[in-house]
């Protein structure tokens, strides 16, 4: 008696639905990671009640030791900082987003005002980064 089934089960496994899920996860993580741009230099930022998300094009950091960084690269002094910002802001796409200042809360406002004045003289919008108040 030859009782063979006409419907044979295929031993292959289709991965098309799995690749769709992985692709959607990849897109999700790419979009959410670009929305958050933390400064790579450790700075103890002041807190604020109002928190807005600003489009960052150039990040300037002032540490508690009065060291200046532009997009993570150390600059020697305010004159070098101005030259570096002038080079970066010559690109018209960079000027639209403005400059975000990451200033340690131990730094006096004199240095904050000096850097903000340099940025304003170059025609850039200036935003001070803060952490949310608890």
Q: Which domains does the chain have, with CATH numbers?
A: 47-132 (3.30.420)
3-state secondary structure of 2: coil
Is a pLDDT exceeding 60 seen at residue 39?
A: no
What percent of the chain is modeled with pLDDT above 70?
75
- By CB atoms closer than 10 A (0-12, 13-18, 19+), residue 58 is buried
DSSP 57: S
Q: What is the pLDDT of residue 25?
A: 92
How many angstroms separate the CA atoms of 93 and 27, rounded?
24
Is a pLDDT exceeding 80 seen at residue 17?
A: yes
Token pair of 8, please?
A: 């044979």
Instruction: Check: pTM over 0.75? Answer yes or no.
Output: no
Render pLDDT for 58-85 as a digit per residue (tens, 0 to 9): 888 999 898 999 888 899 888 999 898 8
């Amino acid at each position: 008696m030859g009782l063979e089934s006409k419907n044979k089960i295929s031993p292959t496994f289709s991965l098309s639905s799995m690749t769709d899920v992985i692709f959607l996860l990849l897109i999700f993580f790419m979009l959410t990671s670009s929305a958050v741009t933390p400064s790579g230099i450790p700075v103890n930022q002041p807190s604020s009640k109002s928190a807005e998300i600003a489009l960052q094009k150039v990040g300037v950091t002032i540490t508690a030791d009065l060291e200046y960084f532009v997009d993570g690269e150390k600059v020697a002094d305010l004159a070098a900082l101005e030259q570096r910002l002038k080079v970066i802001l010559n690109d018209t796409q960079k000027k639209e987003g403005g400059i975000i200042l990451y200033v340690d809360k131990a730094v006096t406002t004199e240095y904050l005002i000096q850097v903000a004045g340099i940025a304003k003289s170059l025609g850039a919008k200036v935003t001070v980064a803060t952490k949310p108040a608890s």
